[in-house]
A and B are shown apart, each in its own frame.
Chain A
Amino acid sequence: MWPIRWVLKPLVFLACLIPALHIGLGALNAAGVLHIGAVSLGADPVKVMLHTCGRWTLNFLMIALCMTPLKDLTHWVVWLRFRRMFGLFAFFYVLLHFSVYLLLDQSGKLGDLWQDIVKRPYITIGMLGLLLLIPLAVTSTAKAQRRLGRRWTRLHRLIYVISILGVWHFWWGVKKDIREPLLYVCGLTLLLGYRLWKHRQSLARVSVARFARTDGA
C-alpha cells in the first residue's frame, strides 16, 4: 500500500498545516515583516490567532473521532491509518492555542495565567483538556502501543473526556452567541453516541451468546 504511505499521508499532512501557515503568515503581516493583504488577520490579530488555533484543535479532535465510524461504515481499514496524525495535529494546535494565549494575549505573565486557571472555570477545563492530551501524544508511537498493550486502548479512551472538555471550554468562553459551540456539541454527541450505541450492541450480542450457551447446556 505504498501510495497511502508515500502519497496520501504526506498530502493530508500538508493540508493539516494550512491553518498554521495562515496564522504564521498573518502574524508576520501584523508584525510588519510582510505586507500581504490576503493573509491579514484584521485589527486584532492576537484574537484571530487564538480562536483559529482553538477551533482547529476541536476540528482535529472531531476528525480523529470520525475515523472509527468511517471504518465501520465503509469497511475500509485505511481510515485508521490517519487517526494518529489527526490526534497529533489536535495536540499541535492546542499547543499553539496555549502559546498564543500565554505569550501574546497575557504578555507571558505566568502569575496572570495561574490566576486565570484558578479563577475562571472555562480556562480551568481548557487547561485540564490540554494536560490530558500530553500522555496521549507521548504514547502515540507504535512502540508505546505495543509496550502498553491493552492498557494503551484504555488510556486512549481519554480522548472522549478531552473532547468533551474542549467543546465545553468553547461553550463557556463565548460571550453570547452559542451557535458555533452548539455545532460542536451536536457533532460530538453524534460521535460519542455512536460509540455508546456500538458498545451496547456488542454487550447485547455477548449476553445473547451466553444465553444461547446456557440454553444449549
Chain B
Amino acid sequence: MRKRSADPAKIVPSDITPYQQYLSRRALIAGGLGFAAAQSIGGFAGVAFGQPAAALTYVRNGALSVADAPNSYTDITTYNNYYEFGTDKSDPSENAQKFRTRPWNVTIGGEAEVTGTFSLEDILQPHPLEERIYRLRCVEAWSMVVPWVGFPLGDLLKRFKPTSKAKFVEFKTLYDPKQMPGQRAAVLEWPYVEGLRIDEAMHPLTLMAVGLYGKVLPNQNGAPLRLIVPWKYGFKGIKAIVSIKFTEHAPRTTWAGSAANEYGFFANVNPAVDHPRWSQASERHIGANAFGRRQPTLPFNGYAAQVANLYNGMDLRKFF
C-alpha cells in the first residue's frame, strides 16, 4: 500500500487519495477513534520526556509524502524553534515537559456559521489520521524531513461552514506565561499569531498535526495541535493552537508584524528572495551527515507543482 513519489514535484492530483478510497479508509480507521477516546480520559496527558509517547492509529499517505529519509526522532524533538519555551533550539525540549495539553479547548470564531468553543476531543473526533512525510524548511536556512501524523486542515474548517466573507484564517497560540516561560520576556508579541489565505488553508497539503513518528506529538513540537504548511517557512506552522478565526482581511501575524522587512505574510519558501541578512538559495540539512554540503533550496520547498498555481499573477518578490 505504501506508495511514495520519488519527487513531490511530480505528484499529480490523481495521485492524491481518491475520495471513495478515503471514505473506505475512514471506515477502516473507525477503530482508530479509540485514539479520541483515549484522549478524553486523559490517556496520554502526562507523557513524560524520555518515556514512550502514546501510539496513534493512522494510515500512511504515501502519495503526499516525500521519499527523503526522515530525520531522527531525537533531532526532531530536541532542535526546535518555539520561543514560548525559550529562544535556544534546545530550550523547548527542556522547558515544555510539564506543559499541560489536557484539558484543551479551541475557540472557533469570525466569518463562519458554526462558532464557539470546542474541546480538543470534539475538534479531533471526526478526523481519521494519516502520516505524511514532509520537508520542513526553516527561514533560518536549515531543513529537516518530518513524518507528521495529522489530518487536512480543510476538512476541519469545512465543519464550521465559513461564509463568503471568510477570506483568511487566523490562528493563535495559547497565552500562559506561567506555563510558557518564554512569554515572560517581550522577545515577540504574545500570543503568537499566524494566518493563511483561505485557499491556502483549504489546500490538501495543509495539515493539522497531532502526532510525530506515529506517536502523540511531543510538547516541544507544538502539542496538542499545530499547523503544518510544507511549502512555507517553518514559522508559519503555529503551535499549541487555541483559536481559529475566519476573517475578511489578512491578520497581523507575529513575525511579519515584528520585522516586516524580514518576514512576510506569505513566507513561501523561495530561493530567489533572500532574507535581508542571509541567503535563502541553499540550506543546511540537519541530520546524519552533520558536515555535509549545503543543498539547494527548491521553490515552494519542492511542492511547486501542487501549490504554485495558488499564486498565479502575484509578484512573489513583493509578497514574500
Q: How far is B291's CA from A27's CA once the two chains are assembled, in angstroms?
A: 9
**Is B79 within 8 A of A172, CB to CB?**
no
Q: In chain A, what residue has the closest Cβ to B80?
A: A43
Q: Does A115 interact with chain B (Cβ within 8 Å)?
A: yes
Contact flag A42-B90 (CB < 8 Å), given A122-B277, A172-B277? yes
**Is B259 within 8 A of A44, CB to CB?**
no
Kindly identify which residue among A104, A119, A173, A179 contacts B291, using a CB–CB cutoff of 8 Å.
Answer: A104
Q: In chain A, what residue has the closest Cβ to B284?
A: A46
Q: Does A176 interact with chain B (Cβ within 8 Å)?
A: yes
Q: How far is B262's CA from A122's CA once the two chains are assembled, in angstroms?
A: 15
Determine the chain B residues whose CB is within 8 A of the CB of A112 once the complex forms: 279
Determine the chain A residues whose CB is within 8 A of the CB of B74 once the complex forms: 43
Q: How far is B179's CA from A136's CA once the two chains are assembled, in angstroms?
A: 49
Contact flag A116-B279 (CB < 8 Å), given A30-B291, A46-B290? yes
Determine the chain A residues whose CB is within 8 A of the CB of B185 once the complex forms: 179
Determine the chain A residues whose CB is within 8 A of the CB of B287 once the complex forms: 43
Interface of A is mostly: helix
Q: How far is B90's CA from A31's CA once the two chains are assembled, in angstroms?
A: 20
Determine the chain A residues whose CB is within 8 A of the CB of B258 once the complex forms: 176
**Is B279 within 8 A of A42, CB to CB?**
no
Interface of B is mostly: loop
Q: In chain A, what residue has the closest Cβ to B278?
A: A120
**Is B78 within 8 A of A176, CB to CB?**
no
Count of interface residues, chain A, beta-carbon cutoff 8 Å: 25
Q: How far is B254's CA from A176's CA once the two chains are assembled, in angstroms?
A: 12
**What per-residue 1/0 map shows which CB atoms of B171-202 lie under 8 Å from chain A?**
00000000000000101100000000000000
Q: Does A75 interact with chain B (Cβ within 8 Å)?
A: no
Determine the chain A residues whose CB is within 8 A of the CB of B277 once the complex forms: 120, 122, 172-173
**Is A43 within 8 A of B284, CB to CB?**
no
Q: Does B155 interact with chain A (Cβ within 8 Å)?
A: no
**What per-residue 1/0 map shows which CB atoms of A143-177 lie under 8 Å from chain B?**
00000000000000000000000000000110111
A53 to chain B, nearest CB (A): 15
Q: How far is B90's CA from A172's CA once the two chains are assembled, in angstroms?
A: 22
Q: Does B2 interact with chain A (Cβ within 8 Å)?
A: no
Q: How far is B294's CA from A31's CA once the two chains are assembled, in angstroms?
A: 16
Which residues of A (70-86) have their CB < 8 Å from a CB of B?
A: none
Q: How far is B279's CA from A115's CA once the two chains are assembled, in angstroms?
A: 9
Q: How far is B294's CA from A111's CA once the two chains are assembled, in angstroms?
A: 14
**Is A44 within 8 A of B89, CB to CB?**
yes
**Is B294 within 8 A of A106, CB to CB?**
yes
Determine the chain B residues whose CB is within 8 A of the CB of A105 once the complex forms: 284, 294
Determine the chain B residues whose CB is within 8 A of the CB of A173 once the complex forms: 277
Q: Does B140 interact with chain A (Cβ within 8 Å)?
A: yes
Q: Does B75 interact with chain A (Cβ within 8 Å)?
A: yes
Q: Does B318 interact with chain A (Cβ within 8 Å)?
A: no
15 more contacts with CB within 8 A, not counting A47-B142, A172-B277, are A31-B290, A31-B291, A43-B89, A44-B89, A44-B284, A44-B286, A45-B290, A107-B294, A115-B279, A116-B279, A120-B277, A122-B277, A176-B83, A176-B259, A177-B87
Chain A interface (Cβ within 8 Å of chain B)? 27, 30-31, 42-47, 104-107, 112, 115-116, 119-120, 122, 172-173, 175-177, 179
29 A-B pairs whose Cβ atoms sit less than 8 Å apart in the complex: A30-B291, A42-B78, A42-B79, A42-B90, A43-B71, A43-B74, A43-B79, A43-B89, A43-B287, A44-B79, A44-B284, A44-B286, A44-B290, A46-B291, A47-B142, A105-B294, A107-B293, A115-B279, A119-B274, A120-B278, A173-B277, A175-B140, A176-B87, A176-B187, A176-B188, A176-B258, A176-B259, A177-B83, A179-B185
The 8 A-B pairs at the shortest CB distance, nearest first, are namely A43-B79, A30-B290, A177-B87, A43-B75, A107-B293, A45-B290, A177-B187, A43-B286
